[in-house]
C-alpha cells in the first residue's frame, strides 16, 4: 500500500511528472493537509512536518484534532441487502451494527 503513517495519521503518496515532485495529503480526516517533496526522504520529512503542524494548529486553536477513521461511517447497500442483513442479524439475536462488525472482521481475517 502506498501510504505513509505517523502518529496515527495516514498520508497518500502521488507524483507529478510535470512538476517532477512527489506529493500527498492526509487521508481519512476532513481538513485538507498537503505535503510534498522532491525525493522520498524529503516527502517523508514533509509528511511528518504536516502532521506535527496540523496537531500544533489544533492545539493553538483549542480544538481537538480529528482522528483517522473516527469509528463510524454510513454504508449504502440498497434495500434488498439491507433487509437481508437486518433479518440475519435478528435471527442471530444481534444488532445490525454488531452483525456488520462481525462480517467485516471475518472478511478482514480477524
Q: What pLDDT digit, counting tens, does each position of 21-50 carry?
A: 999 999 999 999 999 999 999 999 999 999
Report pLDDT digits (tens) over 80-105: 999 999 999 999 999 999 999 999 99
- The DSSP output letter for 74 is -
Beta-bridge mates of residue 27: 10
Q: d(Cα 3, Cα 10) in Å, to the nearest integer? A: 6
Q: Where are the domains of the chain?
A: 3-61, 74-110
Task: Flag whether the pTM goes above 0.75.
Answer: yes
Helix (H, G, I), strand (E, B) or coil at 65: coil
Give the pairing of strands 9-12 and 34-37: unpaired
Contacts of 64 (CB under 8 A, 6+ apart): 58
Amino acid at each position: 500500500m502506498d501510504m505513509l503513517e505517523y502518529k496515527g495519521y495516514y498520508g497518500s503518496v502521488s507524483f507529478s511528472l510535470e512538476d517532477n515532485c512527489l506529493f500527498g495529503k492526509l487521508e481519512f480526516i476532513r481538513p485538507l493537509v498537503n505535503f510534498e517533496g522532491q525525493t522520498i526522504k524529503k516527502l517523508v520529512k514533509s509528511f511528518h512536518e504536516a502532521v506535527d503542524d496540523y496537531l500544533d494548529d489544533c492545539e493553538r486553536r483549542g480544538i481537538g484534532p480529528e482522528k483517522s477513521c473516527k469509528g463510524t461511517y454510513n454504508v449504502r447497500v440498497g434495500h434488498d441487502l439491507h433487509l437481508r442483513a437486518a433479518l440475519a442479524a435478528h435471527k442471530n439475536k444481534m444488532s445490525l451494527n454488531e452483525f456488520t462488525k462481525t462480517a467485516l472482521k471475518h472478511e478482514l481475517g480477524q
